[in-house]
Amino acid sequence: MKKKTTELYKTIWRWHFYAGIFVAPFLIVLAITGGTYLFKPQIEQALYHSYYEVKEESTKMDADAQVAVVQKQYPEGTVTSFKPSSLPTRSSEVGLAEGDATYTVFLNPYNGEVIKKLDNHNRIMDRIEELHGELMVGTWGDRLVELVTCWVIVLIITGVYLWFPRKSKKEKGGTFLIRFNKGGRALRRDLHAVPAVWLTAGIAFLIATGLPWSGFWGTNFQSIVTNTGQGYPPSIWTGNPPDSVTQTKDLTKVPWAAETLEVPKSTVIPNYERVSLTTIEENAEKRGVPEGYKIVIPQTAEGVYTISAFPNKAQDEVTMHLDQYTGAVLTDYRYDNYGWMGKAIALGITLHKGTQFGLINQLISVLICIGIVLVVCSGIYLWWKRKPSHQLGAPKSGSARHAYGFYILLVVLGIIFPLVGLSLIVIFLLDFLVIRRVAKLKKFFNA
């Protein structure tokens, strides 16, 4: 029994080691960018305060007049959206497309003065979000981030097993407290294992709330959720659900639960003109849409106005589609309409982004991010101190027949997370066909 436990421990230690080596650099990037993005409201306020702030006056221009000012000043561009001023001292924002480039035009809603035309590609926080989500290399980066995130699950499972106390003892040193008086290898181990176990729940939560955004697993999960009874209830549409290939995420950024919501079509009525943007704004106010919403302007004869409210709290999320000729509400989808899964994910996302509970949410999340960086660094230091020269320093693998339960767990994770499954196939093929057949590699990897 003791031999079986020892062999299992060696096997799990080896997988923990390799998972750590793989995810370490990416995990540092994700923690730093994620921790920075938590403070997007404060950072953007500091960066763009001169674009945001206007002097309060008695009368605002209506929405159509504001958009007309932008269209007149930039006749070659196409106005795509309008975000009303959310505070008496806040500017309005008009979305503008010029070729492949998109801009945000900040406008004084009282006198129509154009404050600034900002290239959306130059928004610093958007670049940080892109680095966090896809390492700034598009689809391949998204898949890599997803793979890293899933392998962190393996890292957590193996790490908890290695940390779990095996001797009955009253002292908590080395389990929940760092033994600073020990020094040497014991201290190095504690500096890695003890903070890691304290952070386990927080890291697991960030994984669970981040994966629904991923491009492969998240997209498939979203499809399953919206097609198995947790999708869109009939009550959110006026009339029958639309038969459309266009999804709301194709039009603008909307809450996760509304991304795959099918976009209805406006009923084209001869000699009818599009209702005013001001009317759409009034409809939003009448229906209690929270401040900070954006109106996406239709670009085709059958297009619709889309109102997207993606506020700090999940409970305030709103996605609406309105007929462009009559202003009639065709779709009204809110947090209360979400299924239990949609509500859970919506709450998870706002907690993940640090907006649900304001500053306290940000501080707790950033502490987890700082902790992740420190745990990764302590793990690298622990490895470096024990690594033999000219070798990777990987732990010797235990007997596979004593670790079949662990390998079954890996297979299950590979089925749930297909990218993990694919990577496991690659790992086993490399190990069997290359590493174990080349003497120098076998020695280097301690295979």
Contact 134, 146 (CB under 8 A): no
DSSP 247: B
Cα–Cα distances in angstroms (integers) from residue 307 to residues 162, 238, 329, 447, in the given order: 50, 16, 10, 58
Contact 447, 431 (CB under 8 A): yes
User: What would the two tokens of residue 140 be?
Assistant: 């391949």
What's the confidence (pLDDT) of residue 244?
65
DSSP codes, 344-362:
HHHHHHHHHHT-TTHHHHH
pLDDT, tens digit only, all 447 positions of the chain? 566 678 899 999 999 999 999 999 999 999 999 999 999 999 999 999 999 999 999 999 999 999 999 999 999 999 999 999 999 999 999 999 999 999 999 999 999 999 999 999 999 999 999 999 999 999 999 999 999 999 999 999 999 999 988 765 555 678 888 898 888 888 999 999 999 999 999 999 999 999 999 999 998 998 887 765 555 555 565 655 566 668 888 999 998 888 888 899 998 888 888 999 999 999 999 999 999 999 999 999 999 999 999 899 999 999 999 999 999 999 999 999 888 888 999 999 999 999 999 999 999 999 999 999 999 999 999 999 888 887 888 888 777 778 889 999 999 999 999 999 999 999 999 988 898 888 888 888 887
Query: In the β-sheet with 101-107, what is the strand arrangement from edge to edge?
Result: 114-119, 101-107, 92-98, 78-83, 294-296, 304-309, 318-323, 329-334
What's the confidence (pLDDT) of residue 447?
78
What's the confidence (pLDDT) of residue 225?
77
What's the confidence (pLDDT) of residue 119?
96
DSSP codes, 369-407:
HHHHHHHHHHHHHHHHHHPPTTS--PPPP--GGG-HHHH
Rounded to an integer, what distance in angstroms lies between the CA atom of residue 338 and that of residue 315?
10
What's the confidence (pLDDT) of residue 230?
52
User: What would the two tokens of residue 16 be?
Assistant: 């923990």
What's the confidence (pLDDT) of residue 424?
94
Nearest to 295 by CA among 326, 318, 265, 312: 318
Nearest to 32 by CA among 374, 380, 384: 374
3-state helix, strand, coil in the chain (%, to 5): 55, 10, 30
Contact 90, 54 (CB under 8 A): yes
